[in-house]
C-alpha cells in the first residue's frame, strides 16, 4: 500500500505473530494492547497457555525469547505477573515514527478500506418541506462517515434519497393552480433565495389546511396525483419547479454546513418510479410477495406484531399505488446491481429500524443482497431542546436549521470577539463561521450516535471541554508555535533524548489509524472525537513539561517542533475527516 507507515503497535503485533509461529501457535491472536506499565502489553501467553498445555509463565518466557529473536524486535520484552509480557520501544524507533509520518502522505495511515465500494445514504430531506433539526444528524453523521471511509481508501458513493414523490404533490400543485397569488418563489420574496424553504413550508401548511377543510379541494388534489403519476406535462413541469426550488434551498444549507453533498448526489424517490412495477413483478414471480386483502405484501416470521401476527411489508397498496417500501426495494436493487456496492449504509433515524430490517430481509430472499455485501441501518438518537423534549423553536414548530446555525455562529462571535487578536474583520467573520458551524457539527458527532443529546449552544462554543472550539483552538496554538519558529522545515534527530511526555504523545499518535478503522467498522464518529480530545490534552501535558521554542539543545528543539507539527497535522486531518474546519488562528 502506498505511503503506509507501519504503526509501532502493528510492528509489535508482527513480531509477536512471528514468535507465536515459532512456538507452534501459528495464527493465534498476539493480543497486543497499549499499556500503562509499558508501551504495549501482550496477554497472549495468558490466553494460550491451556492450548499449549503449559503454565502461562513458561509460555510467556518462551514467547519472549522468540520475540527477541525477530528482526526489528521491540527493544524490551519483560515478563510481568502471572504471564503478561510488557513491551517497550526504544527512543530511536519512536523518533523515527515521527519522521516517517511527517514525510508520508495522509500521515502514513494505511488505506485499510481500499477495494471496498460504499454507498452511503444520508440527509434525504423531503421536497417542499423545510429542513429542520431532525435532518441535522443524518446530514452531519453521514458526511463524517463518508469522509472517514473515503480517507481509508473506500470508494464512496453518496446518495441523497430525497423525498421528492408522493401524494402531497397533488395537493401542492393543485393549490398553486388555484392560488396564483401564493408567495413561494425567490422572485416573489423581498429577500434572497434562501428564504424559499420557509416559503415552501408555509405553502405546504396552507395547502394542507385547505385539503383538510375542503372536501372538493381534496378530490381535485387526488385527481392531480393521478395526473402527476400518468405524466401530465403541465403537472410535471410544476413538480419539477417545486423540486428545483427545494433543492436550491437544501444546497444552501449543505454549503453552509460544509457537507459534501451536491445536486449530482441526489437520487430521489422519483428516480425509481419506472422500476417499481418491474420490482413488484419480480417479487411476485419469486413468490416473495403475496396478495393479502387486495394488497401485495411480503410476510416473514421474523417480523411479528405485539399479538404475534406477522407484520406485512406492503409493496403495492390496494389502490394499486406503490409506496416508500417499494421505492426502497428498487433502491437497494439499484445500489447492488447498478452501483455494485459492497457495503450500503443508511444513515436514517432509529424510528425506521423495522422498515430497513424488512427491506434487507426481502432483498436477501430475492437474492439481491448476497453474502459479501453488507447492508447496515445506521440509526441515531434525537436532538432535544433544553427541556429535554424534541427541539422546538419559540413559535412551536420543529426548529429550523438555518436559525439554529445562525444562533451558533452569533454565539461563537461573542466568544471570539472578546479575545485578544489582531484579525481583520473579514478574517474574523470567516473564523467565527468556522467555529460556530464546527461547534454544531462537533456536538452532534461527539455524542454517542445512538444517544439523544440536548442542543445547547452555550456549551457547544465553549473553549473548555470536549468541544469543536477547544480542538480548533488547540490546533491554532500549535500553528502559532510553528509560526514563531519561522515555519522552518522540521528535522528529526533520532538519537536525541526522549522525554516521557514526548513518548506518550507519539504512542497516542500511533493509534490514529486504529481509531479510524474502528470508526469505519462501528460507524461511530464519536470515537474519533474522543481520540482527538485525548490528543489535544496530551499535547498540553507535553507542552507544559517540554519547552519547545526555548529548548537549549538544537536537536531537542528540532524534534519537539517536528512533534508539534505532527500533532497539528493530525488534529487538522482528524477535524477534516469529521467535516470541521481547522483555522490557522482564532
Span interacting with ligand ARG, options 99-107, 119-127, 236-244, 278-286, rule CB under 6 A: 119-127
Q: What is the residue-wise DSSP string for 135-174?
A: GHHHHHHHHHHHHHHHHTT-EEEEEB--B--STHHHHHHH
Q: How far is the CB of 328 from ligand ARG (least distance, A)?
A: 5
| Interface with ligand ARG (CB under 6 A), residue from 56, 74, 108, 124 | 124
Q: Which residue is nearest to ligand ARG (CB)?
A: 124
- Tell me if 165 sits within 8 A of 269, measured CB to CB: yes
- Tell me if 41 sits within 8 A of 86, measured CB to CB: yes
Q: Could you tell me how many residues of this chain bind ligand ARG (CB under 6 A)?
A: 9
Pairwise CA distance, residues 428 & 21, whole Å: 59
Q: How far is the CB of 309 from ligand ARG (least distance, A)?
A: 25
Closest CB to ligand ARG among residues 15, 162:
162
| Interface with ligand ARG (CB under 6 A), residue from 74, 163, 525, 583 | 163
Closest CB to ligand ARG among residues 32, 131:
131
Contact call for residue 126 and ligand ARG (CB under 6 A): yes
Q: Which of residues 552-571 bind ligand ARG (CB under 6 A)?
A: none
Contact call for residue 348 and ligand ARG (CB under 6 A): yes
Span interacting with ligand ARG, options 121-129, 376-384, 392-400, 535-543, rule CB under 6 A: 121-129
Burial class (CB in 10 A: 0-12, 13-18, 19+), 518: middle
Pairwise CA distance, residues 80 & 37, whole Å: 10
Q: How far is the CB of 166 from ligand ARG (least distance, A)?
A: 10
Residue 291, φ and ψ in degrees, nearest 5: -80, 140
Pairwise CA distance, residues 579 & 438, whole Å: 8
Contact call for residue 97 and ligand ARG (CB under 6 A): no
Burial class (CB in 10 A: 0-12, 13-18, 19+), 484: exposed
| Interface with ligand ARG (CB under 6 A), residue from 62, 101, 113, 161 | 161
Q: Which of residues 300-339 bind ligand ARG (CB under 6 A)?
A: 328, 331
Q: Which three cell numbers stand for residue 510?
A: 500511533
Q: In what order do the strands lie in the sheet with 155-159?
A: 155-159, 117-121, 343-346, 374-377
HEC assignment per residue over 393-406? CCCCCECEHHHHHH
Q: How far is the CB of 439 from ligand ARG (least distance, A)?
A: 25
Span interacting with ligand ARG, options 53-61, 120-128, 463-471, 503-511, rule CB under 6 A: 120-128
Q: How far is the CB of 400 from ligand ARG (least distance, A)?
A: 16
Q: How far is the CB of 351 from ligand ARG (least distance, A)?
A: 9
Contact call for residue 265 and ligand ARG (CB under 6 A): no
Closest CB to ligand ARG among residues 355, 555:
355
Q: How far is the CB of 374 from ligand ARG (least distance, A)?
A: 16
Q: Which three cell numbers stand for residue 71?
A: 528482526
Q: Which three cell numbers stand for residue 574?
A: 482528524
Closest CB to ligand ARG among residues 233, 264:
264
Closest CB to ligand ARG among residues 101, 129:
129
Pairwise CA distance, residues 531 & 466, whole Å: 10
Contact call for residue 275 and ligand ARG (CB under 6 A): no
Closest CB to ligand ARG among residues 126, 570:
126
Contact call for residue 467 and ligand ARG (CB under 6 A): no
Closest CB to ligand ARG among residues 172, 498:
172
Pairwise CA distance, residues 8 & 263, whole Å: 43
β-bridge pairing 383-384 and 374-377: unpaired
Contact call for residue 166 and ligand ARG (CB under 6 A): no
Contact call for residue 362 and ligand ARG (CB under 6 A): no
Q: How far is the CB of 379 from ligand ARG (least distance, A)?
A: 11
Contact call for residue 261 and ligand ARG (CB under 6 A): no
Contact call for residue 201 and ligand ARG (CB under 6 A): no
Long-range contacts of 44-51 (CB under 8 A, 24+ apart): 44/16, 44/20, 44/85, 45/83, 45/84, 45/85, 46/82, 46/83, 46/84, 48/20, 49/83, 51/25
Pairwise CA distance, residues 410 & 558, whole Å: 40
Cα–Cα distance list, 243 to 130, 281, 526 (Å): 12, 29, 34
- Tell me if 200 sits within 8 A of 134, measured CB to CB: no
Closest CB to ligand ARG among residues 368, 543:
368
| Interface with ligand ARG (CB under 6 A), residue from 64, 84, 98, 121 | 121
Span interacting with ligand ARG, options 118-126, 188-196, 202-210, 306-314, rule CB under 6 A: 118-126
- Tell me if 295 sits within 8 A of 317, measured CB to CB: yes
Site residues for ligand ARG per CB under 6 A? 121, 124, 126, 161, 163, 328, 331, 346, 348
Amino acid at each position: 500500500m502506498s505511503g503506509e507507515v507501519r504503526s509501532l503497535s502493528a510492528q509489535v503485533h508482527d513480531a509477536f505473530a512471528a514468535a507465536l509461529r515459532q512456538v507452534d501457535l501459528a495464527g493465534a491472536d498476539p493480543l497486543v494492547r497499549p499499556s500503562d506499565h509499558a508501551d504495549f502489553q501482550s496477554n497472549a501467553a495468558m490466553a494460550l497457555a491451556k492450548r499449549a498445555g503449559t503454565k502461562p509463565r513458561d509460555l510467556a518466557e518462551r514467547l519472549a525469547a522468540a520475540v527477541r529473536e525477530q528482526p526489528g524486535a521491540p527493544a524490551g520484552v519483560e515478563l510481568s505477573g502471572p504471564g503478561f509480557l510488557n513491551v517497550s520501544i526504544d527512543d530511536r524507533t519512536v523518533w523515527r515514527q515521527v519522521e516517517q509520518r511527517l514525510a508520508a502522505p495522509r500521515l502514513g495511515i494505511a488505506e485499510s478500506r481500499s477495494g471496498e465500494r460504499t454507498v452511503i445514504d444520508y440527509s434525504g430531506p423531503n421536497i417542499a418541506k423545510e429542513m429542520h433539526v431532525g435532518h441535522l444528524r443524518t446530514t452531519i453523521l453521514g458526511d463524517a462517515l463518508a469522509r472517514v471511509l473515503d480517507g481509508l481508501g473506500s470508494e464512496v458513493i453518496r446518495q441523497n434519497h430525497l423525498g421528492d414523490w408522493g401524494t402531497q404533490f397533488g395537493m401542492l400543485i393543485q393549490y398553486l393552480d388555484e392560488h396564483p397569488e401564493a408567495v413561494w418563489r425567490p422572485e416573489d420574496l423581498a429577500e434572497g433565495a434562501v428564504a424559499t424553504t420557509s416559503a415552501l413550508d408555509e405553502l405546504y401548511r396552507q395547502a394542507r389546511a385547505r385539503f383538510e377543510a375542503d372536501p372538493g379541494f381534496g378530490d381535485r388534489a387526488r385527481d392531480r396525483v393521478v395526473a402527476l403519476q400518468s405524466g401530465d406535462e403541465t403537472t410535471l413541469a410544476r413538480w419539477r419547479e417545486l423540486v428545483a426550488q427545494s433543492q436550491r434551498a437544501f444546497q444552501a444549507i449543505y454549503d453552509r454546513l460544509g457537507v459534501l453533498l451536491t445536486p449530482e448526489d441526489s437520487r430521489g424517490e422519483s428516480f425509481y418510479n419506472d422500476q417499481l412495477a418491474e420490482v413488484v413483478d419480480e417479487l411476485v414471480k419469486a413468490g416473495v410477495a403475496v396478495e393479502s386483502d387486495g394488497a401485495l405484501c411480503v410476510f416473514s416470521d421474523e417480523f411479528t406484531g405485539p399479538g404475534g401476527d406477522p407484520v406485512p411489508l406492503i409493496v403495492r397498496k390496494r389502490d394499486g399505488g406503490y409506496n416508500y417500501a417499494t421505492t426502497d426495494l428498487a433502491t437497494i436493487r439499484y445500489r447492488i446491481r447498478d452501483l455494485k456496492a459492497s457495503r450500503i449504509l443508511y444513515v436514517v433515524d432509529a424510528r425506521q429500524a423495522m422498515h430497513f430490517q424488512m427491506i434487507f430481509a426481502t432483498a436477501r430472499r430475492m437474492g439481491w443482497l448476497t453474502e459479501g455485501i453488507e447492508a447496515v441501518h445506521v440509526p441515531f438518537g434525537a436532538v432535544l431542546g433544553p427541556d429535554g423534549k424534541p427541539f422546538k423553536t419559540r413559535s412551536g414548530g420543529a426548529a429550523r436549521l438555518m436559525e439554529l446555525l445562525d444562533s451558533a455562529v452569533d454565539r461563537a462571535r461573542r466568544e471570539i470577539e472578546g479575545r485578544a487578536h489582531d484579525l481583520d474583520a473579514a478574517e474574523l467573520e470567516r473564523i467565527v463561521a468556522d467555529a460556530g458551524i464546527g461547534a454544531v457539527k462537533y456536538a452532534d458527532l461527539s455524542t454517542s450516535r445512538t444517544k439523544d443529546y440536548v442542543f445547547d449552544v452555550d456549551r457547544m462554543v465553549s473553549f473548555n471541554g470536549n468541544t469543536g472550539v477547544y480542538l480548533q483552538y488547540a490546533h491554532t496554538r500549535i500553528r502559532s508555535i510553528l509560526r514563531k519558529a519561522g515555519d522552518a522545515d522540521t528535522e528529526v534527530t533520532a538519537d536525541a533524548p526522549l522525554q516521557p511526555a514526548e513518548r506518550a504523545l507519539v504512542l497516542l499518535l500511533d493509534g490514529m489509524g486504529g481509531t479510524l478503522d474502528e470508526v469505519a467498522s462501528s460507524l461511530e464518529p464519536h470515537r474519533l472525537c474522543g481520540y482527538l480530545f485525548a490528543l489535544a490534552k496530551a499535547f498540553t501535558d507535553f507542552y507544559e513539561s517540554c519547552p519547545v521554542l526555548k529548548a537549549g539543545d538544537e536537536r531537542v528543539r528540532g524534534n519537539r517542533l517536528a512533534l508539534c507539527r505532527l500533532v497539528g497535522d493530525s488534529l487538522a486531518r482528524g477535524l477534516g475527516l469529521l467535516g470541521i474546519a481547522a483555522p490557522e488562528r482564532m
